[in-house]
Amino acid sequence: MSSATDKARYFLEQSIPELKEYERKKIFSKDELSSIIKKRSDFEHKLNSRGSQPVDFVRYAEYEMNLDLLRRKRVKRLGIRAAGFSGQRRIFFILDRATRKFHGDIGLWVQYIEYARQQKAHKKLSQVFTDALRLHPTNADLWTYAAKYMIEDHADMTQARSYMQRGLRFCKRSKKLWIDYAKLELIYITKLVARQKILGLDQPIKPAALTADTAFDDLDADMIALPQITEEDINPTAAGDDEVDETALKNLSATPALSGAIPLAIFDTAMKTFDNDDKFGHEFYDMVLGFADIPCLSKILGHVVEVLLAAKPISHHTLICYIRFPTVGIRTDSADFPRALGTSLGRLKEHRHDPKLAEEVISWLQPLQQTEGLDPALQQVMAATIRTAEKALQTK
Q: How many residues are listed for the chain in this entry?
A: 396
Within 8 A by CB and 6+ apart from 201, the residues are: 246, 249, 250
Give buried/exposed letters for 159-177 (b at 16+ CB in 10 A, else e): bbbebbbbbbeebeebbeb
* Mean pLDDT along residues 29-39: 94
- Name the pLDDT band for 312 (thresholds 50, 70, 90): very high
Whether residue 389 is predicted with pLDDT greater than 50 in this model: the reply is yes
**The last residue of a domain, from among 46, 73, 102:** 102
The answer to whether position 269 is within a domain reads no
User: Among candidates 204, 179, 386, 384, which has minimal Cα distance to 300?
Assistant: 179
Please, is 308 exposed, middle or buried when counting C-beta atoms within 10 Å of its C-beta (0-12, 13-18, 19+)?
buried
- Domain containing 362: what range? 332-395
Band of residue 255 on the pLDDT scale cut at 50, 70, 90: low
Residue 388, in any domain of the structure: yes
**Residue 14, in any domain of the structure:** yes
| 17 within domain boundaries | yes
- Residue 254 binned pLDDT confidence (cut-offs 50, 70, 90): low
How many other C-beta atoms can be found within 10 angstroms of the C-beta atom of residue 317? 20
Please state, rounded to an integer, the average pLDDT across all residues of the chain. 85
- Spatial separation of the C-alpha atoms in residues 55 and 183, rounded to whole Å: 34
Say whether pLDDT at 386 is over 90.
yes
Residue 243: burial class (beta carbons within 10 Å; 0-12, 13-18, 19+): exposed
**pTM of the predicted structure, to 2 decimals:** 0.81
- Collect contacts of 351-355 with beta carbons under 8 A, ≥24 apart: 351/319, 352/388, 352/389, 352/392, 353/392, 353/395, 354/316, 354/319, 354/392, 355/392, 355/393, 355/395, 355/396
Q: Is the pLDDT of residue 94 over 90?
A: yes
Does residue 305 fall inside a structural domain?
Answer: no
pLDDT at position 217, please? 47
pLDDT at 182 over 70: yes
234, exposed or middle or buried, with CB in 10 Å at 0-12, 13-18, 19+?
middle
36, 111, 125, 139 from 48: Cα distances, Å: 18, 20, 26, 29
The stretch 83-104 carries a mean pLDDT of: 89
Residue 228: its pLDDT value, please?
Answer: 46
Q: Cα separation of 227 and 35, whole Å?
A: 61
Residues 6+ apart with CB under 8 A from 257: 188, 189, 192, 229, 233, 234
- Measured between alpha carbons, how far is 191 from 188 in angstroms, rounded to an integer? 5
Query: For residue 70, what are the CA distances in angstroms to 32, 89, 91, 294?
Result: 12, 16, 14, 46
End of a domain among 75, 102, 129? 102
Q: Using CA atoms, how far apart are residues 76 and 70, in angstroms rounded to an integer? A: 10
pLDDT > 70: percent of the chain: 84
Quick check: 263 pLDDT over 90?
yes
pLDDT for the residue numbered 66? 95
Q: Is residue 38 part of a domain?
A: yes
What pLDDT is recorded for position 203? Answer: 55
**Is the separation of the CB atoms in 240 and 232 below 8 Å?**
no
Is 384 contained in some domain?
Answer: yes
C-alpha atoms less than 13 angstroms from C-alpha of 93 in its C-beta half-sphere:
12
Indicate whether 36 belongs to any domain: yes
CB 304 within 8 A of CB 270: no
Single residue among 102, 131, 149 that ends a domain in this structure: 102
What is the tally of structural domains in the chain?
2
